[in-house]
């Protein structure tokens, strides 16, 4: 694990950076997740390392790199998201503000155990999303703008790389018993519903803006493209997310997708 800082200039990246514009807008909506969840993850990790026994030296080191990776992810996505707002998508801002406030509330009112379980829920979604992006979306990514696609490749490959950190932290702090497993599932389901609800709502607003002034035929074509993307991601994600439910789930056993190592080497 290491920190990599790609230098990507988004100034001329089109909003619809892939041939399927609804696919691009769905990922543009996802891009608001790291902008708000990752500062939260950093705060959760900083609180956790204060109470994690010093004897877990390796995990402490990994948490440090995890924090530094998430800070870079957040920064680059914030730059990309500002580009979206500047190009006419100020409609994102009120939905983002509500989403950001949720994390402030979690930090203020929820237990460390909840916040770590929620963080692990997000991380297990992230490493599944990385495999989906690298393995199941080639036809959607063909002909896309390389700068936007590489932002996602870099981020998701690093999500895959640090996939065990939150999981190991959760296990070290809360053990392997039945309640520990059930509470991990609770964190996962809460994260899925919360993050999935936010991104779906935001994507719908952004796509609705794109649909203003479309003819009936254009609207139908847009609907078909959105469904094609959603069906693909749903199918590709479900088989991986189902594994997270198992009491024997361990992200370390997930196999890196072809192309991840080369991509990370490019930015190392
Ligand atoms: Fe990240
Ligand atoms: Fe992460």
Determine the average pLDDT of the residues in 223-227: 97
- Residue 144's pLDDT is 97
How far away, in angstroms, is 76 Cα from ligand 2 center? 14
How far away, in angstroms, is 43 Cα from ligand 2 center? 13
Q: How confident is the model at residue 228 (pLDDT cuts 50, 70, 90)?
A: very high
Q: How confident is the model at residue 146 (pLDDT cuts 50, 70, 90)?
A: very high
How far away, in angstroms, is 123 Cα from ligand 2 center? 5
What pTM does this model have? 0.96
Instruction: For 75-103, write each residue's pLDDT tens digit.
Output: 999 999 999 999 999 999 999 999 999 99
**Distance (Å, rounded) from C-alpha 95 to C-alpha 115?**
22
Say which ligand is closest to the CA of 123.
Answer: 2
Determine the average pLDDT of the residues in 46-57: 96
How far away, in angstroms, is 157 Cα from ligand 2 center? 10
- Residue 84's pLDDT is 97
Give the distance, in angstroms, between the CA of residue 261 and the centroid of all CA atoms in the same chain. Answer: 19
**Distance (Å, rounded) from C-alpha 141 to C-alpha 121?**
27
Q: How confident is the model at residue 4 (pLDDT cuts 50, 70, 90)?
A: very high
How far away, in angstroms, is 30 Cα from ligand 2 center? 14
Say which ligand is closest to the CA of 155.
Answer: 1
């Amino acid at each position: 694990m290491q920190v990599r800082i790609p230098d990507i200039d988004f100034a001329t990246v089109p909003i619809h950076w892939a041939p399927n514009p609804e696919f691009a807008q769905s990922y543009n909506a996802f891009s608001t997740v790291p902008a708000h969840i990752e500062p939260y993850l950093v705060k959760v990790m900083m609180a956790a390392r204060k109470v994690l026994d010093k004897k877990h030296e390796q995990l402490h080191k990994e948490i440090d790199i995890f924090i530094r990776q998430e800070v870079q992810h957040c920064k680059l996505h914030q730059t990309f998201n500002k580009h979206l707002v500047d190009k006419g998508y100020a409609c994102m801002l009120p939905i983002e503000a509500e989403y950001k406030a949720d994390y402030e509330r979690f930090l203020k009112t929820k237990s460390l155990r909840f916040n770590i379980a929620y963080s692990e829920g997000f991380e297990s979604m992230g490493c599944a999303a990385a495999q989906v992006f690298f393995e199941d979306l080639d036809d959607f990514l063909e002909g896309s703008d390389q700068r936007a696609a590489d932002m996602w490749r870099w981020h998701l490959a690093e999500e895959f790389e640090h996939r065990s950190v939150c999981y190991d932290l959760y296990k070290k702090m809360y053990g392997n018993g039945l309640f520990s497993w059930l509470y991990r599932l609770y964190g996962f389901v809460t994260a899925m519903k919360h993050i999935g609800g936010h991104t779906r709502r935001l994507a719908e607003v952004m796509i609705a803006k794109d649909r203003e002034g479309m003819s009936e035929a254009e609207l139908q074509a847009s609907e078909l493209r959105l469904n094609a993307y959603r069906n693909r991601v749903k199918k590709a994600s479900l088989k991986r997310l189902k594994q997270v439910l198992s009491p024997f789930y361990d992200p370390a056993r997930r196999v890196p997708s072809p192309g991840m190592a080369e991509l990370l080497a490019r930015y190392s």
